[in-house]
């Protein structure tokens, strides 16, 4: 994620511009949309729900640009905080159970290829569900730091800013969360 940020023009100036210029907001949207979409999709696995949530998130970002304070956090940290809070709200409202349908875009070139694709999608679905089950067994703090690290691909300083904790605390939480996750994963993977 940090490497990609270097490709974005001066983020602070772009955010200031976006308050009065829709084209500047469009640059921010185009840059961050795939990242936020991927972050939510890896967590939810359902395109329709993710598309709705991403739309809500960027609408909220657009509506609240004037309240963004670059002295408190980077724009990406602020954006991920909004996305994470929206995800938490979604889970509160709809619970943790979710449907992970097999994508409809499977090509029917020949029966063997089709079976291999369906099998691979099924395996990926089962793996996502197992990871989700194990993550749900962890406490909320462990869940959050693992999501931000592996789904949002944030570094420790970005996670610290998003969660409003120290960088050292992030390192400790990540270490403990990974150990706990590995132990539970082994238990459920059997």
Query: 3-27, pLDDT tens digit by residue?
Result: 344 446 578 888 888 888 888 898 8
Regarding whether 56 and 144 lie in a shared domain, the answer is no
pLDDT tens digit sequence for 91-144: 888 765 444 444 444 444 444 555 555 555 555 666 777 777 888 888 988 988
Domain boundary among 80, 99, 118: 99
Instruction: State yes or no: pLDDT of 173 exceeds 80.
Output: yes
Regarding whether 71 and 2 lie in a shared domain, the answer is yes
**Is residue 44 within 8 Å of 125, Cβ to Cβ?**
no
Regarding whether 108 and 95 lie in a shared domain, the answer is no
User: Which pLDDT band, with edges at 50, 70 and 90, does 190 fall under?
Assistant: low
Regarding whether 168 and 128 lie in a shared domain, the answer is yes
For residue 78, count CB atoms less than 10 angstroms from its CB and return exposed for 0-12, middle for 13-18, buried for 19 or more. buried
CA distance 7 to 14: 13
User: Which pLDDT band, with edges at 50, 70 and 90, does 56 fall under?
Assistant: very high
Regarding whether 94 and 1 lie in a shared domain, the answer is yes
CATH number for position 54: 1.10.1740.10
Regarding whether 51 and 78 lie in a shared domain, the answer is yes
Regarding whether 142 and 88 lie in a shared domain, the answer is no
CATH number for position 138: 1.10.10.10
Regarding whether 84 and 43 lie in a shared domain, the answer is yes
Regarding whether 110 and 26 lie in a shared domain, the answer is no
Regarding whether 108 and 92 lie in a shared domain, the answer is no
Domain boundary among 99, 119, 153: 99
Could you tell me the residue range of the domain that residue 94 belongs to? 1-99
Regarding whether 188 and 122 lie in a shared domain, the answer is yes
Percent of the chain clearing pLDDT 70 (strictly above): 78
Domain boundary among 99, 117, 142: 99
Question: How high is the mean pLDDT of the chain?
Answer: 79
CA 52 vs CA 5, 46, 48: distances in Å: 25, 10, 6
């Amino acid at each position: 994620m940090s490497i990609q940020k270097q490709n974005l023009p001066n983020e602070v100036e772009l955010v200031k511009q976006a308050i009065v210029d829709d084209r500047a907001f469009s640059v921010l949207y185009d840059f961050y949309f795939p990242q936020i979409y991927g972050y939510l999709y890896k967590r939810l696995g359902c395109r329709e729900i993710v598309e709705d949530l991403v739309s809500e998130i960027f609408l909220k970002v657009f509506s609240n640009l004037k309240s963004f304070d670059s002295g408190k956090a980077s724009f990406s940290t602020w954006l991920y905080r909004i996305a994470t809070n929206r995800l938490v709200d979604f889970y509160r409202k709809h619970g943790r159970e979710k449907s992970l349908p097999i994508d409809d875009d499977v090509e029917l070139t020949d029966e063997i290829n089709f079976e291999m694709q369906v099998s691979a999608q099924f395996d990926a679905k089962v793996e996502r569900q197992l990871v989700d089950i194990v993550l749900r067994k962890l406490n909320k703090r462990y869940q959050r730091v693992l999501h931000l690290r592996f789904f949002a691909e944030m570094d420790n300083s970005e996670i610290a800013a998003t969660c409003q904790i120290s960088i050292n605390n992030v390192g400790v939480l990540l270490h403990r969360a990974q150990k706990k996750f590995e132990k539970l994963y082994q238990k459920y993977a059997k």
